């Protein structure tokens, strides 16, 4: 089982400031044959199902604002919100799909 | 856009079988491009993938749940279903159905299932 560990568990950021969430996998999720990282990020607002934000570690989904970006490779990944907006308050999860499917424990993003 | 809706009992007794159905609208469950998944979320905790099914009936389950899980598809009703046997309090969660194999773009709103006597 690939264990996904996110840090921090929560963070408070001022409006317009940068928010950075880290995700570490217990095993490599980079598939060497296609050079793709099997890593996604989701946003979950209260009372809502998760929303896919980024797949393949850095590919933004259609309609997702460009203030969201994903980076990293292998076992270490980052989701960055470049300028936090009020509507970005949510819990963010990373998920690997290299072997089976597992999620991180979530990071709660709040406004400072 | 595909829409999904979960349905089923909100309360299940310990040791019994949890049964849920997901109705798909706005798309065909028989599409060769799509896979249909179940995912659950324990209260205040993270997400756990349960498994998926393809329209031809082939399945792939979470190794930690595979002994208790069955996912089936009914193409005539555009539905797919989840059965989880021998439930305990640890199976209390919000259960989501979703479209996708690797990642999930379209989700149902989720249904809370409580395991309690």
Rounded Cα–Cα distance for residues B35 and B47 (Å): 19
Measured from the Cβ of residue A4, the count of other Cβ atoms closer than 10 Å reads: 22
Local confidence band at B7 (pLDDT 50, 70, 90 cut-offs): very high
Inter-chain touch B98–A49, beta carbons under 8 Å:
yes
Instruction: Answer whether A49 touches B (CB < 8 Å).
Output: yes
Pairing state of beta strands B18-25 and B79-84? antiparallel
Q: Which structure tokens are listed for B67?
A: 């002994």
Q: Which residues contact A13 (CB under 8 A, 6 or more apart)?
A: A19, A81, A84, A109, A110, A111, A112
Q: How far is B97 from chain A (nearest CA, A)?
A: 10
- pLDDT tens for B74-111 read 999 999 999 999 999 999 999 999 999 999 999 999 99
Query: CB–CB of B31/B55 below 8 Å?
Result: yes
Instruction: Answer whether A52 touches B (CB < 8 Å).
Output: yes
Inter-chain touch A95–B103, beta carbons under 8 Å:
yes
Q: How far is B86 from chain A (nearest CA, A)?
A: 23
Chain A residues with beta carbon closer than 8 angstroms to that of B64: 1
Inter-chain touch A49–B49, beta carbons under 8 Å:
no
Local confidence band at A34 (pLDDT 50, 70, 90 cut-offs): very high
pLDDT at B1: 85
Question: Residue B40: which of B115, A30, B75 has the closest Cα?
Answer: B115
């Amino acid at each position: 089982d690939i264990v996904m560990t996110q840090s921090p568990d929560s963070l408070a950021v001022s409006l317009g400031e940068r928010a950075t969430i880290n995700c570490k996998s217990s095993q490599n999720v980079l598939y060497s044959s296609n050079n793709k990282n099997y890593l996604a990020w989701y946003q979950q607002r209260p009372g809502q199902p998760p929303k896919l934000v980024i797949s393949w570690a850095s590919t933004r989904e259609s309609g997702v604002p460009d203030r969201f970006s994903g980076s990293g490779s292998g076992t270490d990944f980052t989701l960055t919100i470049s300028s936090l907006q009020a509507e970005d308050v949510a819990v963010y999860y990373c998920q690997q799909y290299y072997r089976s499917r597992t999620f991180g424990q979530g990071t709660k993003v709040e406004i400072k | 856009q595909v829409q999904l809706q979960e349905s089923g009992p909100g309360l299940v007794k310990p040791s019994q079988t949890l049964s849920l159905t997901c109705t798909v609208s706005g798309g065909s469950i028989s599409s060769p491009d799509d896979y249909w998944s179940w995912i659950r979320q324990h209260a205040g905790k993270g997400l756990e993938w349960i498994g998926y099914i393809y329209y031809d009936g082939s399945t792939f389950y979470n190794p930690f749940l595979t002994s208790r899980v069955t996912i089936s598809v009914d193409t005539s009703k555009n539905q797919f279903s989840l059965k989880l046997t021998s439930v305990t309090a640890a199976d209390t969660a919000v259960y989501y159905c979703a479209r996708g194999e690797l990642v999930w773009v379209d989700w149902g709103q989720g249904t809370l299932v409580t395991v309690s006597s």
